Amino acid sequence: MNTRGGILVAAGLAAAVLDSPAQTPGAGRQPKTTSSVDVGPLLPLTCVQAWSASGRRYQQMLMIVTKLARVSLANRHLTLPNTREAGLEAGRGIADDCKADPDALLFAIVDKHVRRVARAGP
């Protein structure tokens, strides 16, 4: 993933994840985007493969990262603090790790940074 793509993912993660009602796992239902049908093909992708699969388009890459973040939040019963800074912090970490190791599994990186900035759900 190029630098521009990484920066854009960092900038957009906050808005996409924090503004979504699906981030709260305590709602009694699993968010639609966490079904294996939706995310299964995304799980084995490296950062560079995900960027390629997105057509090298910011909105598509943001959708991939957001889906993976929602899976991590739901599976770990976590929520992101309701601040833009929390999402930006996670996004920056994801972008930095993908830049440092483009062949790393994107889901592992997303999960790492979600856990770093999230807190236990309600």
* pLDDT tens-digit map of 57-70: 989 998 999 999 99
- The answer to whether position 65 is within a domain reads yes
How sure is the predictor about 122, in pLDDT bands with cuts at 50, 70 and 90? low
Name the residue range of residue 106's domain.
3-24+37-120
30 falls within a domain: no
**Model confidence band, residue 120 (pLDDT cutoffs 50, 70, 90):** confident
**Distance, CA of 91 to chain centre:** 8
Confidence of residue 36 (pLDDT cuts 50, 70, 90): low
| 116 assigned to some structural domain | yes
Q: Which CATH number belongs to the domain containing residue 51 in this structure? A: 1.10.890
> Domain count of the chain?
1
Q: Specify the pTM.
A: 0.74
Mean pLDDT estimate for the chain: 78
Residue 100 maps to a domain = yes
Residue 113: exposure state from Cβ atoms within 10 A (0-12, 13-18, ≥19): buried
- Residue 92 included in any domain: yes
Mean pLDDT of 98-116: 96
Does 32 map to a domain?
A: no
Domain assignment present for residue 61? The answer is yes
Q: Is 75 a domain residue?
A: yes
